[in-house]
Structure 1
């Protein structure tokens, strides 16, 4: 298994890659909010997979480190800066597969007819773990819970998501709806996750959507508090997915299937044993540099061992992005045209 980082020294996309960049222009990058880029393509029997250096990419790390050899494949993990970079690279055959948040960039790529599709869900989670209220408005978890019962009085105040057109922006919309507010009633700012913590502390934002470990850090330092506990009787929402270049997958059906066989083993491992075992924390540290103690203290991610995804939730995302003006088309695309389970089904049938 190889592990490389995509170069970022003044390279520009040309030809088909430039077309893909235009498709994605104006769409947000990914839940991490980084800028798009590109890297050299590969070939042969090695599967080149774009990943982000975040804890939510752990299923890919486990696939490459634990299960690729078992199914007889060679994976090269290539670090990229954003979900847009992953989508653009996969769509233009620089990478065979990759990580992408469920968001407008991928929807727009599909609408443009580019050969990129989600083929399996990756990490999932709960709005309750992401939505956090400023300590200037609520000085404890209990006060935050009381305020979240009805936040209609906060109309006109500033709320934050990390980027436009990404799944975390949709989560903010869903959280506000639950609390009695609409996206059209607030002042929305797009602020990177780390910068939201001090904004919560000083009251610069009333509330925001934060990905771990930042909400845990915010609670520990008194910057903000989550109003809701993690549900124990509800399925988590899908946040990210595995994408394929479908031209590559159709031409290399056995490799594409074997990758998802290894990936399914990784998903089962994480679902059964958790994301915070010493082995998994070591992998996260290896690929992201994150402090294992901080990761272990955070609310954990989730993954469906059967690689199932709820199309009703996905449709709700697409409808949200359309309402926000993040999509470059006017009619809803059936989710069956955005997700292709051909290779997942073949892998699970083995």
Structure 2
């Protein structure tokens, strides 16, 4: 899940180096407003064949969050192994990633499974999810303010019945994003609907002091922020991580015009990505090597990251599309989608290159 805290875009090749990028604000406005139609991408259309990024370097949009670790590992360890050149380009939000991939600014990227990606697909833009990025649990992301629950035990008791907090303020990092759905699932577990509460859009880092001072009753935070909140007494998660399948939260995006024009390169990307997924699934997200990568790309304190509840990814890059459909249904009910009928998830997720890479 993605923090909306403001950051300047950066470029990373094998090891970090920082470059300025052209702002995507105008393109983002077009895509997210649903004004770009079909192939009408103008100068932002993806390059053909052997142009920059077309047949050579793969430009990848990422967010500086620990959930991007599969991409970090792919770029730093496995891209060379399969013989591809990648350029890692930091963006400030998942919407920037979606827009940049759809308009050919990047060949690949990742974003939360949210309304912006569904709307981009519905507009006919050449962008598809091609593999899961990370998965997680409602239990790991939902947290209550220490002003309403001063310990884990108190939080667990309060969360059994949240009806006293109807009309109160809860927070997520943005509208139409997967964290909004996670909040709805958590509130439902406590007997509330998301429509029963006031939802504020607050970046993950800023939710921590809001929890501490009681400005919000609860929120949905991606790691390492819930762990930070618990460490400093700002808030407490009411539930332990369950022993059930995790929920898909984010996915890898391809510009499908590029991928169709460069099938071998797209498949090699997925081969490298699958290698990273297998290492994380079998070895964990908190080994010294992984903590070093997260610190390098995000600046996060490795000691804090080592304490966090881990993200998840399947070694075979499988994903339960029935779980994903629950997210689309939620956005439809919230009025976040620019269309009226549910789109089959099989149309939005294209596993062509994953299956080619894995020999499926």
| TM-score (ref. length: structure 1) | 0.91
Name the counterpart of 2:60. Answer: 49
How many residues are treated as equivalent by the alignment?
332
1:75 aligns with 2:86: yes
Name the counterpart of 1:32. Answer: none
* Residue 187 of structure 1, CA deviation: 1.0
- Separation (CA, whole Å) in 2 of partners of 1:210 and 1:58: 17
Determine if contact 2:24/2:100 at 8 Å carries over to the other structure.
Answer: no
Name the counterpart of 1:35. Answer: none
Name the counterpart of 1:271. Answer: 281
Q: Give the alignment partner of residue 336 of structure 1, picking from 338, 343, 346.
A: 346
1:156 aligns with 2:167: yes
Range with bigger deviation, 167-176 or 146-155: 146-155
1:290-347 alpha-carbon deviations (Å, 9 max, x no partner): 1111111111111111111111111110111111111111111110111000000111
Name the counterpart of 1:171. Answer: 182
1:134-157 alpha-carbon deviations (Å, 9 max, x no partner): 111111111111111111121111
1:260-310 alpha-carbon deviations (Å, 9 max, x no partner): 011000000001111110001111111111111111111111111111111
3-state SS of the aligned residue for 2:125? coil
- Separation (CA, whole Å) in 1 of partners of 2:168 and 2:296: 40
1:280 aligns with 2:290: yes
Determine if contact 2:24/2:99 at 8 Å carries over to the other structure.
Answer: no
Q: Where in structure 2 are the equivalents of 1:22-33 lying within 5 Å?
A: 22-25=30-33
Name the counterpart of 1:91. Answer: 102
1:193-221 alpha-carbon deviations (Å, 9 max, x no partner): 11111111121111110111111111111
* Residue 188 of structure 1, CA deviation: 1.1
Q: Where in structure 2 are the equivalents of 1:124-143 lying within 5 Å?
A: 124-143=135-154
Determine if contact 1:124/1:237 at 8 Å carries over to the other structure.
Answer: yes
Name the counterpart of 1:292. Answer: 302
| Unaligned runs of at least 5 residues, structure 2 | 1-12, 35-43
- Separation (CA, whole Å) in 1 of partners of 2:209 and 2:241: 24
1:185 aligns with 2:193: no
- Separation (CA, whole Å) in 2 of partners of 1:67 and 1:310: 26
| TM-score (ref. length: structure 2) | 0.88
Name the counterpart of 1:7. Answer: 20
1:21 aligns with 2:29: yes
3-state SS of the aligned residue for 1:305? coil
Shift in alpha-carbon separation, 1:5–1:111, aligned structure 2, 3 A: farther
